[in-house]
A and B are shown apart, each in its own frame.
Chain A
């Protein structure tokens, strides 16, 4: 039954993708992209990837859409209708598709437990996580400890995007733009106000839950950071930019970003000082298992802080920019 549903979702995915290419209205394209992300998230869930589904929904469907819409508000909504015939691209791309489909016929069949992918590394991770770390979520164990260096890199990718957006949008726009510092958001609309006010505390609470329960269920720093950022963004949309910046000022956001990234690195360096390798959490405590748990807790906190601060900084950089009236 679930497989029929999965096939249906995949077909919807293709239809949405084609619709996105076709449409000339960029606003519609962004909304369809959001739907596309949600369908992807559902698909991931069916394929047993719970953490990834949560991240795709929070980051892909949520934050990406907000950033796209902010950018559209600052530029323009319509795509130019005139298109020259793109025959060559179509041919190249069709050849590529055929090549990939041809290669799929040799791939291991879906779900085959004997496939090379499921030997070697995966059983080791599944076996050793209870032994070394003693908590249920294997994905968090791999993300936080076994491949913690990758996650460090990931935090710094987010950091790079944050400083990049601040740097690029740090230049004042040309003079014919106007910014209303007293813009009141959606305050004049009653229903979003009421519903939003109810939702925001729960969103933030859920974000904190996801942060601290990342070891026991799907969740972790990235999802939590994105969720809490969404809560604050919702507040900004409802009450206006200035109110949001008063609630969570820019220097707090910068502090979160710098603090979060540095916390992660500091944990790694402390491990060196205590005699282990970089990011070897076992040395953090007399009991290696609690050392691992402590290490992962700290770095996930660092990740959550950094992601939340970075996403909010990026949002404010777009939202507070003067637009052409």
Chain B
């Protein structure tokens, strides 16, 4: 039986339906094995679809056999394929490699629940990426958010609890704002399907509710995507979450929210609301610039390695939003590519940190001094990924930063300011990455910290090195992601004509 036309729905259904079944796998380690298998299968489906999309095929699927807009439609194009790759790839690697770290942090009795929630989060995120219906996106957004709250609260650190509570409050406000926006658009156009909205929105006479709707949707999704200044939930949530969950969330969670924001904005609003593109730029560009500068500055002075990298993530989200706010093909390509590269770089960094955490209980920078002497391979992987984060030539990060600079130079009067901000923040990134390198390699070990007995556990080490090599590989040969990203940019812009 040829399952190819059903791939879009299987991408969601496979993890979604496996999640309750994982609860039945009580014996030790079986839940992990089941989750790993499901994650790999999802990655295989995503890869399959991405290759097909790169060859020019577009998938669309009418769930229930009802054609849109009467039923819910799924669609896979370049942009969604990119996001699917990121989500399933991050999930697969984190689950496969993370067993040693998860075993240390989550007690065996609760592990089936933990892995079930993880697979459910993956299902939710892929569901968002595939959906072409505004309300369906809300439902899957809440699935992934609820599952994420559960995952973050899982670790032994009690500070995770207030952090996840704040995330829950802000995330639910964001989702509800999104719901209000969708309701207003539905009120004026009478449909929930994105493509249909695009077609009908031109015929609306009173645009005030639509402007209010655009505002609500943007703010709601910005809350979920941790765009400055609505990012306050992110540092604590990432810092105190179990280490493998930080790997997973840092790589993909906020990017899916940005994906929805860009899709909604470019597909539905920009084409049809006069001067909306100007409003979009005017609103988002300064926030992106501020986010990049403030977050990078705070990261330079952070004492805890996870919180440092979490603030760095806020800065990187700023880069992604900056590229999008240019509303040019170059800008959007840089933005999409940075989503991919940041996932690789941050994922690798947090994988290495999870490895460090297997031997060091306290992850404050001062306590990690001299770690490189006892764990040389782990530290080396960390350094390579760190360089990719900064954008050293030869790494993936360099490619997206270069594209961003290139796009910024086209911005006329603002070019100088933009280029300046990008360069200054890159220097700040170099500063905080150097701080980490210096502490790990050149400082003497702290007196009262036990010397680790060996390297990080093998799966984590291999995964961290896989990420490090991928960073270099995609830095030297960026063709595949670049192709997907420019196709995505073209798609987004094509709807503004």
Direct contact of A and B (CB under 8 A): yes
- Contact residues of A with B, CB < 8 Å? 99-100, 102-103, 105-108, 115-122, 124-125, 128, 145-150, 152-154, 156-157, 159-161, 163-164, 166-168, 170-171, 254, 257-258, 261-262, 265-266, 268-269, 272-273, 276-282
Q: How far is the CB of B135 from chain A (nearest CB, A)?
A: 6
Contact with A along B1-34 (1 / 0, CB 8 A): 1010010010001001101110110000000000
* B209 in contact with A106 (CB, 8 Å): yes
Given the complex, which residues of A lie within 8 Å of B72, measured CB to CB?
A: 147, 149-150
* A124 in contact with B212 (CB, 8 Å): no
Would you mind naming 19 contact pairs between A and B with Cβ atoms under 8 Å apart?
A103-B184, A106-B208, A107-B187, A107-B206, A121-B191, A122-B190, A124-B70, A148-B64, A149-B136, A156-B120, A157-B139, A157-B142, A159-B20, A160-B147, A258-B20, A262-B17, A272-B6, A277-B61, A278-B9
Contact with A along B122-145 (1 / 0, CB 8 A): 010001000000011001101100
Given the complex, which residues of A lie within 8 Å of B114, measured CB to CB?
A: 167
* B208 in contact with A103 (CB, 8 Å): yes
Contact of B23 (CB < 8 Å), options: A105, A145, A163, A171: A163
CA distance A262 to B189 in the complex (A): 36
* A100 in contact with B212 (CB, 8 Å): yes
Knowing A100-B212, A119-B190, A159-B20 touch, does A276 contact B65 (C-beta < 8 A)? yes
- Contact residues of B with A, CB < 8 Å? 1, 3, 6, 9, 13, 16-17, 19-21, 23-24, 61-66, 69-72, 109-110, 113-114, 116-117, 120, 123, 127, 135-136, 139-140, 142-143, 146-147, 149-150, 153-154, 184, 186-192, 200, 204, 206, 208-209, 212
CA distance A272 to B16 in the complex (A): 16
Q: How far is the CB of A233 from chain B (nearest CB, A)?
A: 22
Q: How far is the CB of B177 from chain A (nearest CB, A)?
A: 10
Knowing A106-B206, A160-B117, A167-B117 touch, does A116 contact B189 (C-beta < 8 A)? yes
Given the complex, which residues of A lie within 8 Å of B120, measured CB to CB?
A: 156, 159-160, 163
Given the complex, which residues of B lie within 8 Å of A145, measured CB to CB?
A: 64, 66
* A258 in contact with B24 (CB, 8 Å): yes
* A116 in contact with B187 (CB, 8 Å): yes
Given the complex, which residues of A lie within 8 Å of B140, measured CB to CB?
A: 153
Q: How far is the CB of B56 from chain A (nearest CB, A)?
A: 23
* A164 in contact with B70 (CB, 8 Å): no
* A107 in contact with B143 (CB, 8 Å): no
16 additional A-B residue pairs with CB within 8 Å, beyond A153-B139, A153-B140? A100-B212, A117-B190, A119-B190, A128-B70, A152-B16, A154-B139, A156-B123, A160-B120, A163-B23, A164-B146, A167-B113, A167-B150, A262-B20, A269-B13, A278-B64, A279-B63
Contact of B150 (CB < 8 Å), options: A105, A160, A272, A280: A160
Residue among A118, A160, A258 facing the most chain B CB atoms (10 A cut-off) = A160
CA distance A103 to B139 in the complex (A): 26
Residue among A108, A146, A156 facing the most chain B CB atoms (10 A cut-off) = A156
Q: How far is the CB of B366 from chain A (nearest CB, A)?
A: 30
CA distance A171 to B154 in the complex (A): 10
Knowing A163-B113, A167-B150 touch, does A150 contact B136 (C-beta < 8 A)? yes
Q: How far is the CB of A3 from chain B (nearest CB, A)?
A: 21
Given the complex, which residues of A lie within 8 Å of B65, measured CB to CB?
A: 276-277, 279-280, 282
CA distance A277 to B67 in the complex (A): 11
CA distance A67 to B62 in the complex (A): 38
CA distance A167 to B114 in the complex (A): 7
Contact of A149 (CB < 8 Å), options: B3, B63, B143, B206: B63
Q: How far is the CB of A112 from chain B (nearest CB, A)?
A: 11
* A170 in contact with B64 (CB, 8 Å): no
Shortest Cβ distance from A258 into B: residue:
B20
* B63 in contact with A160 (CB, 8 Å): no
Contact of B153 (CB < 8 Å), options: A115, A118, A168: A168
* A150 in contact with B135 (CB, 8 Å): yes
Knowing A146-B71, A157-B142, A160-B147 touch, does A278 contact B190 (C-beta < 8 A)? no
Q: How far is the CB of B62 from chain A (nearest CB, A)?
A: 6
Contact of A153 (CB < 8 Å), options: B136, B150, B209: B136
CA distance A111 to B64 in the complex (A): 31
* B13 in contact with A120 (CB, 8 Å): no
Shortest Cβ distance from A257 into B: residue:
B20
* B190 in contact with A279 (CB, 8 Å): no
Contact of A146 (CB < 8 Å), options: B64, B109, B116, B190: B64
Shortest Cβ distance from B186 into A: residue:
A117
* B13 in contact with A121 (CB, 8 Å): no
Given the complex, which residues of A lie within 8 Å of B191, measured CB to CB?
A: 120-121
Contact of A108 (CB < 8 Å), options: B17, B123, B187: B187
* A156 in contact with B143 (CB, 8 Å): yes
Residue among A121, A164, A282 facing the most chain B CB atoms (10 A cut-off) = A164
CA distance A121 to B20 in the complex (A): 34
* A121 in contact with B150 (CB, 8 Å): no
* B70 in contact with A146 (CB, 8 Å): yes
Knowing A164-B150, A258-B23, A278-B6 touch, does A153 contact B212 (C-beta < 8 A)? no
* A120 in contact with B69 (CB, 8 Å): yes
Given the complex, which residues of A lie within 8 Å of B9, measured CB to CB?
A: 272, 277-278
Given the complex, which residues of B lie within 8 Å of A99, measured CB to CB?
A: 212
Shortest Cβ distance from B121 into A: residue:
A160
* A147 in contact with B71 (CB, 8 Å): yes
Contact of A278 (CB < 8 Å), options: B13, B136, B189, B204: B13
CA distance A125 to B191 in the complex (A): 13
Contact of A277 (CB < 8 Å), options: B3, B6, B20, B150: B6
Given the complex, which residues of A lie within 8 Å of B70, measured CB to CB?
A: 121, 124-125, 128, 146
Q: How far is the CB of B305 from chain A (nearest CB, A)?
A: 26
CA distance A273 to B186 in the complex (A): 35
Q: How far is the CB of A223 from chain B (nearest CB, A)?
A: 19
Q: How far is the CB of B73 from chain A (nearest CB, A)?
A: 10
Given the complex, which residues of A lie within 8 Å of B69, measured CB to CB?
A: 120-121
Q: How far is the CB of A52 from chain B (nearest CB, A)?
A: 14
* A153 in contact with B143 (CB, 8 Å): yes
* B62 in contact with A103 (CB, 8 Å): no
Given the complex, which residues of A lie within 8 Å of B189, measured CB to CB?
A: 116
Q: How far is the CB of A228 from chain B (nearest CB, A)?
A: 20
CA distance A142 to B208 in the complex (A): 30
Given the complex, which residues of A lie within 8 Å of B142, measured CB to CB?
A: 157
CA distance A166 to B209 in the complex (A): 42
Given the complex, which residues of B lie within 8 Å of A254, measured CB to CB?
A: 23
Q: How far is the CB of A303 from chain B (nearest CB, A)?
A: 14
* B146 in contact with A157 (CB, 8 Å): yes
CA distance A116 to B184 in the complex (A): 11
Knowing A103-B208, A117-B190, A146-B71 touch, does A279 contact B6 (C-beta < 8 A)? no
